[in-house]
Amino acid sequence: MTDEVQPYRVDPISEPEAATEIKALLAACDLSYEATVEVFVVLRRGRRTIACAGLDKNIVKCAAISPELQGESLSLLLMTEIAHLAHERGHTHLFLYTKPDNVDRFRACGFYKVVEVPGVVAFMENTPIGVRGYCASLKTLRQPGAVIGAIVMNANPFTYGHRHLVEYAVANCDHLHLFVVAEDTSFFSYRDRYAMVKAGISDLPRLTLHPGSEYMVSRATFSSYFFKEKNAAADSFTAIDLLVFRNFIAPALGITRRFVGTEPFCKTTNKYNRDMMHWLRRPDSPFPPIEVVEIPRIANGEVPISASEVRSLLAAERFAEIGRLVPPFTLAVLRDKHRPGRTASQIPDPPTWVENALSKKGQDSYEDS
C-alpha cells in the first residue's frame, strides 16, 4: 500500500542516509540531532521519513513528527515501537525530555510528567508509579526531627573529605539521609562505592544510608538533552534533578536541609551547588524550601582532599599517599581493584554523561564531589 505508514529501525552509524533524513526532520521540527542516540525508530510513508524517535539507553530523545502531519495516531505508533524496541534492549523504565507544550501528546503515549521547568522543559517517565512508587517506599524510612538532612554523593572513591561532610551534617541535623549515586558510569562501580560509604560511616549515629536511584544525579535526571535554544536549556539541565529532589524526595522523607561540599576545582559541580541554592529555595514553589548548607572541604596539608586526586595517585600506585586521604576500608578496596600497568590516561573520567553535557558549554573538566 503506497500510503501505509511503516515503522523501521535505523542505526544512525551504519545507515548515514537514513540519519541524514532524520537530521532534516529534526531541523524542520526545531530540534537538534543527538549523537548519543544509539538507535532510532522512524515512520515512513512510502520512502519518506515522517516521524522519528531515538533511544539513548533508557532515555527517549529526538522524538519528532513532520510538522504538517501532527496526527495523534502517528505519535502512538511511534511510541509503541519505541517501547518495544527499548524493551528488547533491556530498558523497561523510560524517560524523556520534551517541551512543556508536548506533555499532553506524550501523556497519550503512556508517559507521565515528573517535573517541569516552566516554559523550558518537562521531564517524563513511562509509568504512573515510578517516582511516586519510589517516594512511597522512601516514606516508610521517615525519621522524626525538626531538621532532617540529606547528602547525595558519588564517592568515587570515598575519602576523608566525604567523611568530614557526613560528620558535619550529622552534627547539624536531627537525622541524616545519605544517598549514594547509583549510576554505574564512574571509575568505581556502584557496588564498590556503596560498600566504601557504608564502611566509612558505619560508626555514625542518626543516619540512614540509601541506595541511589534513577531519580537523583542519574543519566535520566542529568540528561544532556538540549533544545535548539541551548542557553535556556543548558541553564535548566541541573534544574530537573533538583526539582525532583525538592518536589518528591524531600517531601517523602521530610528533608529540610541539604549539605554539600564546596567545589574549588570543578565548574560543573560548582554550578550544581549554585543552582541548588536557586531551585531548592526559590519561593514560588508549592513545595517547602530546603536550606542548602555548603561547607568547605577539609585539606590534607595545603590541598583540599578530592576523589580525583585519589584516582591520580592510584594510577601512579602511590598507596602511601592515598592512605592519608581515604579511610582504611577504601584503601583496601583500592588495593584490591588496582590493576598494575593501568595508566591515568586509560582511566575513564567519571560520569561521562555530565562531561558530555559540559563539553557543549565549553567547560573543561569534571571532578567528583
Partner 1 sequence: MKIVREALAGTLESSDLMVRIAPRDAGLEIVLQSEVIHQFGAQIEAVARETLEKLGIDAAQVIIEDKGALDCVIRARLQTVVRRAADEWTADWSVLA
Partner 2 sequence: MKLRRSMLFLPGANAAMLSTAFVFKPDSIMFDLEDAVSLREKDAARILVFHALQMPIYRESGMETVVRINPLSSPFGMEDLEAVVRAGVDVVRLPKTDTAEDVHQLEAEVERIERACGREVGSTKLMAAIESASGVVNAVSIAMASKRLIGIALAAFDYVMDMQTQRGDGSELYYARCAVLHAARYAKIDAFDAVFSDVNDDAGFLKEVDLIKRLGFNGKSLINPRQIELLHNAFAPTDEEVDYSRRVVAAALDGEKQGLGVISLNGKMIDAPIIEHARVVLRRAAASGTRK
DSSP state of 1: -
| CB atoms near residue 301 (< 10 Å) | 7
Q: Which of 13, 38, 84, 278 is the binder for partner 2 (CB under 8 A)?
A: 84
Shortest spacing between CB 110 and partner 2, in angstroms = 15
Sign for the CA dihedral angle at 113, 114, 116, 120 comes to: negative
Q: For partner 1, which is the closer residue by CB, 110 or 323?
A: 110
274 binds, among partner 2, partner 1, none (CB under 5 to 8 A by kind): none
Q: Is 284 in the site for partner 2 (CB under 8 A)?
A: no
Q: Which of 2, 14, 140, 343 is the binder for partner 2 (CB under 8 A)?
A: 2
Residues that bind partner 1 (CB under 8 A): 73, 76-77, 79-80, 83-84, 87, 92, 108-110, 127-129
- Which cell is 19 given? 540519519
140 binds, among partner 2, partner 1, none (CB under 5 to 8 A by kind): none
Contact track, partner 2, 296-315, x by CB under 8 A: --------------------
What number of H helices and E strands is found in the chain?
Answer: 14, 14
17 binds, among partner 2, partner 1, none (CB under 5 to 8 A by kind): none
Q: Nearest 5 degrees, angle CA 262-CA 272-CA 175?
A: 65
2 binds, among partner 2, partner 1, none (CB under 5 to 8 A by kind): partner 2
Q: Spell out the residues 6+ positions from residue 303 whose beta carbon is closer than 8 angstroms to its own.
A: 309
Radius of gyration of the chain (CA): 22
Ordered DSSP codes for 303-347: EEP-HHHHHHHHHTT-HHHHTTTS-HHHHHHHHHH--TT--GGGS
Q: Is 1 in the site for partner 2 (CB under 8 A)?
A: yes
Q: Is 44 helix (H, G, I), strand (E, B) or coil?
A: strand
| CB atoms near residue 53 (< 10 Å) | 25
Q: Is 146 in the site for partner 2 (CB under 8 A)?
A: no
Shortest spacing between CB 215 and partner 1, in angstroms = 18
Residues that bind partner 2 (CB under 8 A): 1-3, 84, 88
